[in-house]
Chain A
Amino acid sequence: MSYNAPVRDIAFMLNHVVGLADVAKLEGFEEATEELATAVLEESARFTSEVLGPLNSVGDAEGATWDEDGVKTAPGWVDAYAQFVESGWGALSFPVAYGGQGLPMCLSSAVQEMWHSSNMSFGLCPLLTQGAVDALAHHASDEMKDRFLPKMVEGVWSGTMNLTEPQAGTDLAAIRTKAEPKDDHYLITGQKIYITYGDHDMTENIIHLVLAKLPDAPEGVKGISLFVVPKFMVNDDGSLGEKNDVRCVSIEHKLGIHASPTCVMSYGDNGGAVGYLVGKPHHGLMYMFTMMNQARHAVGVQGYGIAERAYQQALAYANDRKQGPTLLSGNDSEGIINHPDVRRMLMTMRSSIEAMRGLALDCAAAFDIAAKHPDAAVREAAQRRGELLTPLVKGWSTELGVELCSLGVQIHGGMGFIEETGAAQHLRDARITPIYEGTTAIQANDLIGRKSARDGGQGLNELMDDMKSVLEELKASNEVNLKAVAARLAPAIDAAEQANEWLLGQNDPTQPSATSVEFLMMHGRLAGGWIMARTALAAVAEKQKADADDAYLDAKTLLARYYAERMLPLVESGKTIIMDSAESTISLDIAQL
């Protein structure tokens, strides 16, 4: 089943809800006009649907393979990646100084949705390169940036992030990889696991960013340093030299994303891999955190990106599949889309995807404002907003993405369980997204701790205030669907405020921790409702214009109403769960479990 990028929906969200025009007013983002965004989105749509999309099922069936010489990607991958680089897609948001286009994050996120919808396994390679480029751009010396960044920005070299070890997953303090000083560099020894695209045949070099400990490292997370370890040494003139002492010793067999090689990397089998220290010693984890928000945001985009693909497939099937009389059509030979419950599933998918897309783009725009706004106070508030929304984008959108892909299978009935249909692949692929780049529990901890308790709820309160002003706008309208949205948004905001107050009043973190994921999901659903309310307001406003496409705009308003009526009541029940269920969650004796 082919992929058709929803260019119009994405552009509507960017232009009328998120406010790309405001971002384009900032110095450095002037290029990002509506006109340019349209041209970029349309060409990206063509590329992803024609080049990346058709390789998705091939990648799933054939997967990446490993032998002594390294990893080979699935058939067609090398050629597609070459076209990707040739077209310059990887460089969209990178600094102009290193060959990037310097476009805002909200536009690059919009483009990246298409990578992941069309082929998430493929999209992971540039996603990881982006993380590595961000880390180097922020923390490496100029000499190091000049040596590595231009080729990484161009995409002819890819990047990886080497954090996890068998005994050190979420707890990075436990890493054992060592770095010994030697002349002007370090020798790295140790083993890293779960390294996405740790080895492959699509680029001439791979730049590994590796967390390791120096001999004099203090205990714990304050003893971790960050190193650059190239697969092939890079000579002073930029040419490639000897192969470094790093290799992929195996790849994992996984539930999904078969075409994305998940590597076990061995450093220093023959004495030590040459590595270069990034920034200052013992600051590695802090450096990683500066790019963590962006990486987590990118995984959130995968969450709804893959759900969009599942939705397109389910929608086509529901139109096509005929199964007896349906209640919503007078005709016995109409598709199962005319069953009310199939409609429920499709509406849930469609409206949730729009809500998640809007939230991710809104969050990205906040980071854009935080990066470029002339007023320091505005920058600070925008940064606070972006950081607050990030765990929602990552945690909520990936959890919901999995649910929606499951609905996609459900709509197919028995055929959904059969691999040839392709519906199951999306569910299998989606399942990793709530796990990597920090599990949902990690996101929830981030939300209740770093993003809420630490600033005494300032960021949360600002968000609630913004939601209340949207509520006032809704209430001021006579439009029937807007009134319906307001009717559900008001009690949802009240409920969330009660939950916020409860959270901030807790001195012992145990109880909040037991219901933190519910807290995250509640805020995700509510923020989705806020986005959908803004979408509906924008649609109603657009309808006033001459030549308005009424059918399209009315659909936006009705989707917002469905979302409000179906999802926002869960905010109210979520509040009850958050405040009342902690004790029973943790009080049972382990022996009885």
Chain B
Amino acid sequence: MKILVGVKRVLDYNVKARVNADKTGIELANVKMSMNPFDEIAVEEALRIKEAGNAEEVIAISIGSAQSQETIRTALAMGADRGILIETDELLEPLAIAKLLKHVVEKESPGLVLLGKQAIDGDNNQTGQMLSAMTGMAQATFASKVELDGDTAKVTREVDAGLESIKVKMPAVLTTDLRLNEPRYAKLPNIMKAKKKPLETIAVADTGVDVSSKLSVVEVNEPEQRKAGVIVSSVAELVEKLRNEAKVI
């Protein structure tokens, strides 16, 4: 079985995001970029499945600019076997990403597609679900535990009410939640080997997929600064303020 893992290059989680000058998005020039933390978890899970003898090959895929190769190399240094970059300088929407992934799924026929439940830049939480719908593969999102048994995967999902266990038939799309695992550090010898692992680059145009934007961004703004709080002297005053000032009760 092959496992396809999505790895997205995003603003590093330590960097404070700032809106760019023309208010069309986040400032990405000259800031540290790294792999989406949810995707690191997906790579780790894929490697664990392979190490347990349940998969033969882990393929890391990224869709983005040429620099996304670095993100794929990071996955290869962790232990993935080969990489695919679908190169584009545009920031694609989840729907376009899902279509491009579908294109690769049809070519590679993976038993599992592991994706982060969301990327920390857009926080969309859509790609996995869309890919599942378009390919007809089963979906198990927000996974915090994955157990494989033959052609089924038992997945524990983190939902609002607690934990939900479901069984899905493979091939399936799994999206990872934070508690699924703790990603490994890349070992130095593997960092060196990663340079020599195959990395295929495909131009978006060659996929024949329509990636045109269906949404338009009106404006991006910083969240409003939180105002200082006030200390109330009694419960009665609190209730009064909640009712008359905040108008929430």
B243 within 8 A of A: no
Q: Mark A38-59, 1 if CB is under 8 A from B, else 0.
A: 1110110011000100000000
Most chain A C-beta atoms within 10 Å of own C-beta, residue among B74, B186, B189, B195: B186
Inside 8 A of A86's CB, which chain B residues have their CB? 187
Q: Contact check, A47 vs B185: say whether CB atoms are below 8 A apart.
A: yes
Inside 8 A of B34's CB, which chain A residues have their CB? 42
Nearest B residue (CB) for A552: B30
Q: Contact check, A43 vs B185: say whether CB atoms are below 8 A apart.
A: yes
B234 within 8 A of A: no
Minimum Cβ distance to chain B for residue A562 (Å):
22
Q: Is the interface of A mostly helix, strand, loop or mixed?
A: helix
Inside 8 A of A39's CB, which chain B residues have their CB? 70, 73-74, 77, 191, 194-195
A4 within 8 A of B: yes
B148 within 8 A of A: no
Q: Tell which of A36, A91, A552 touches B191, judged by Cβ atoms closer than 8 Å.
A: A36
Q: Tell which of A38, A40, A551 touches B188, judged by Cβ atoms closer than 8 Å.
A: A40
Known contacts A39-B73, A39-B74, A552-B30: A89-B188 contact under CB 8 Å: yes
Q: Tell which of B73, B74, B187, B192 touches A31, judged by Cβ atoms closer than 8 Å.
A: B192
Inside 8 A of B14's CB, which chain A residues have their CB? 4
A28 within 8 A of B: no
Inside 8 A of A8's CB, which chain B residues have their CB? 32
B29 within 8 A of A: yes
Q: Contact check, B73 vs A88: say whether CB atoms are below 8 A apart.
A: no
Minimum Cβ distance to chain A for residue B208 (Å):
31
Inside 8 A of B185's CB, which chain A residues have their CB? 43, 46-47, 51, 83, 87
Q: For the complex, what is the distance from the CA of A39 to the CA of B70, rounded to whole Å? A: 8
Inside 8 A of B186's CB, which chain A residues have their CB? 43, 87
Known contacts A4-B14, A43-B77, A552-B30: A36-B192 contact under CB 8 Å: yes
Minimum Cβ distance to chain A for residue B171 (Å):
32
Q: Contact check, B187 vs A87: say whether CB atoms are below 8 A apart.
A: yes
Minimum Cβ distance to chain A for residue B201 (Å):
15
Q: Contact check, B29 vs A547: say whether CB atoms are below 8 A apart.
A: yes
Q: For the complex, what is the distance from the CA of A549 to the CA of B195, rounded to whole Å? A: 27
Q: For the complex, what is the distance from the CA of A43 to the CA of B189, rounded to whole Å? A: 12
Q: Mark B16-57, 1 if CB is under 8 A from A, else 0.
A: 000000000000011010100000000000000000000000
Q: For the complex, what is the distance from the CA of A39 to the CA of B74, rounded to whole Å? A: 8
Q: For the complex, what is the distance from the CA of A552 to the CA of B74, rounded to whole Å? A: 25
Q: Mark A11-37, 1 if CB is under 8 A from B, else 0.
A: 000000000000000000001000110
Minimum Cβ distance to chain A for residue B221 (Å):
23
A-B pairs with CB below 8 Å: how many? 48
Inside 8 A of B30's CB, which chain A residues have their CB? 549, 551-552
Inside 8 A of B189's CB, which chain A residues have their CB? 88, 91, 101
Inside 8 A of A47's CB, which chain B residues have their CB? 185
Known contacts A4-B14, A39-B77, A549-B30: A91-B192 contact under CB 8 Å: no
Nearest A residue (CB) for B76: A39
Most chain A C-beta atoms within 10 Å of own C-beta, residue among B70, B189, B192: B192
Minimum Cβ distance to chain A for residue B89 (Å):
13
Minimum Cβ distance to chain A for residue B62 (Å):
15
Q: Contact check, A40 vs B195: say whether CB atoms are below 8 A apart.
A: no
Nearest B residue (CB) for A549: B30
Q: For the complex, what is the distance from the CA of A47 to the CA of B185, rounded to whole Å? A: 7
Q: Contact check, B29 vs A88: say whether CB atoms are below 8 A apart.
A: no
Q: For the complex, what is the distance from the CA of A101 to the CA of B192, rounded to whole Å? A: 9
Nearest A residue (CB) for B188: A88
Within 8 A of A (CB), among B163-187: 185-187
Q: Contact check, B29 vs A92: say whether CB atoms are below 8 A apart.
A: no
Inside 8 A of B188's CB, which chain A residues have their CB? 40, 43, 87-89, 91-92, 101
Most chain B C-beta atoms within 10 Å of own C-beta, residue among A36, A92, A551: A36
Nearest A residue (CB) for B73: A39
Inside 8 A of A88's CB, which chain B residues have their CB? 187-189
Most chain A C-beta atoms within 10 Å of own C-beta, residue among B77, B188, B194: B188
Q: For the complex, what is the distance from the CA of A35 to the CA of B77, rounded to whole Å? A: 13
Q: For the complex, what is the distance from the CA of A551 to the CA of B29, rounded to whole Å? A: 12
Q: Mark A83-102, 1 if CB is under 8 A from B, else 0.
A: 10011110110000000010
Q: Mark A521-556, 1 if CB is under 8 A from B, else 0.
A: 000000000000000000000000001010110000
Minimum Cβ distance to chain B for residue A56 (Å):
18
Q: For the complex, what is the distance from the CA of A547 to the CA of B185, rounded to whole Å? A: 31
Q: Contact check, A43 vs B195: say whether CB atoms are below 8 A apart.
A: no
Minimum Cβ distance to chain A for residue B29 (Å):
7
Q: For the complex, what is the distance from the CA of A257 to the CA of B186, rounded to whole Å? A: 28
Q: Tell which of B29, B32, B191 touches A43, judged by Cβ atoms closer than 8 Å.
A: B191
Q: For the complex, what is the distance from the CA of A86 to the CA of B67, rounded to whole Å? A: 28
Minimum Cβ distance to chain A for residue B34 (Å):
8
Within 8 A of A (CB), among B94-135: none
Minimum Cβ distance to chain B for residue A169 (Å):
36
Inside 8 A of A4's CB, which chain B residues have their CB? 14
Minimum Cβ distance to chain A for residue B182 (Å):
11
Q: Contact check, A35 vs B187: say whether CB atoms are below 8 A apart.
A: no
Most chain A C-beta atoms within 10 Å of own C-beta, residue among B185, B191, B194: B185
Q: For the complex, what is the distance from the CA of A101 to the CA of B188, rounded to whole Å? A: 8
Inside 8 A of A549's CB, which chain B residues have their CB? 29-30
Q: Tell which of A35, A46, A92, A547 touches B195, judged by Cβ atoms closer than 8 Å.
A: A35
Minimum Cβ distance to chain A for residue B186 (Å):
5
Q: For the complex, what is the distance from the CA of A549 to the CA of B194, rounded to whole Å? A: 29
Q: Contact check, B187 vs A40: say whether CB atoms are below 8 A apart.
A: no
Minimum Cβ distance to chain B for residue A146 (Å):
20
Minimum Cβ distance to chain A for residue B140 (Å):
29
Inside 8 A of B77's CB, which chain A residues have their CB? 39, 43
Q: Mark A456-496, 1 if CB is under 8 A from B, else 0.
A: 00000000000000000000000000000000000000000
Within 8 A of A (CB), among B132-166: none
Inside 8 A of B191's CB, which chain A residues have their CB? 36, 39-40, 43
Q: For the complex, what is the distance from the CA of A83 to the CA of B184, rounded to whole Å? A: 10
Q: Mark B190-205, 1 if CB is under 8 A from A, else 0.
A: 0110110000000000
Minimum Cβ distance to chain B for residue A261 (Å):
26
Q: For the complex, what is the distance from the CA of A35 to the CA of B73, rounded to whole Å? A: 10
Nearest B residue (CB) for A35: B195
Q: For the complex, what is the distance from the CA of A396 to the CA of B30, rounded to whole Å? A: 34
Q: For the complex, what is the distance from the CA of A40 to the CA of B185, rounded to whole Å? A: 11
Minimum Cβ distance to chain B for residue A454 (Å):
39
Q: For the complex, what is the distance from the CA of A549 to the CA of B30, rounded to whole Å? A: 6
Nearest A residue (CB) for B194: A39
Most chain B C-beta atoms within 10 Å of own C-beta, residue among A8, A39, A83, A88: A39
Inside 8 A of A31's CB, which chain B residues have their CB? 192, 195
Most chain A C-beta atoms within 10 Å of own C-beta, residue among B14, B30, B70: B30
Inside 8 A of A51's CB, which chain B residues have their CB? 185
Query: Could you list 10 A-B pairs, sorted by A, with CB under 8 Å?
Result: A39-B70, A39-B73, A39-B74, A39-B77, A39-B194, A42-B34, A43-B77, A43-B185, A87-B186, A87-B188
Those 6 A-B pairs whose CB atoms lie nearest each other, nearest first: A88-B188, A549-B30, A88-B187, A43-B186, A87-B187, A39-B191
Known: A31-B192, A39-B70, A39-B73. 12 other contacts (CB 8 A): A36-B192, A39-B191, A40-B191, A43-B188, A47-B185, A83-B185, A87-B188, A89-B188, A91-B189, A101-B189, A547-B29, A549-B30
